[in-house]
Amino acid sequence: MEDRERRIAENEDLFRQVNERVKDLNRAFSVVLERGDYLCECGNEACVDRVSLTPEEYERVRAEATHFVVAPGHVVLDVESVVYAGEGYEVVKKDEGEAAELARETDPRS
């Protein structure tokens, strides 16, 4: 895997780990909130965009270790593909290869 692809995969994993913590906070406020704000899990380390998801939408993303939620337009088409889009977000899948393997190995739910 080239350095750029590895860096993108590592950044996405970091944001995914943060979002797992955010999920716990959102769950604590679920009586008040129908949607929670999560960090965009794109490969851009400087990205601070947020995406709003219901708990069900978030769980749908986390059901697959190679899936990440990103803000619209944050897809890196040469290393991932769009699986589906929701209101104000897109879900990308790491294409097979080393990046997908790294996503599986670093999945906090595995």
- At residue 30, the pLDDT reads 57
Of 50, 26, 2, 57, the C-alpha closest to 10 is 2
DSSP letters spanning 24-82: HHHHHTTTT-SSEEEE---S-TT---EEEE-HHHHHHHHTSTTEEEE-TT---TTTEEE
Query: Which has more pLDDT, 60 or 2?
Result: 60
- At residue 28, the pLDDT reads 60
Domain boundaries, the chain: 3-105
Give tens-digit pLDDT for 6-45: 888 888 888 888 888 777 766 665 555 678 889 999 988 8
Give tens-digit pLDDT for 40-86: 999 888 999 999 998 889 999 999 999 999 999 999 888 899 999 99
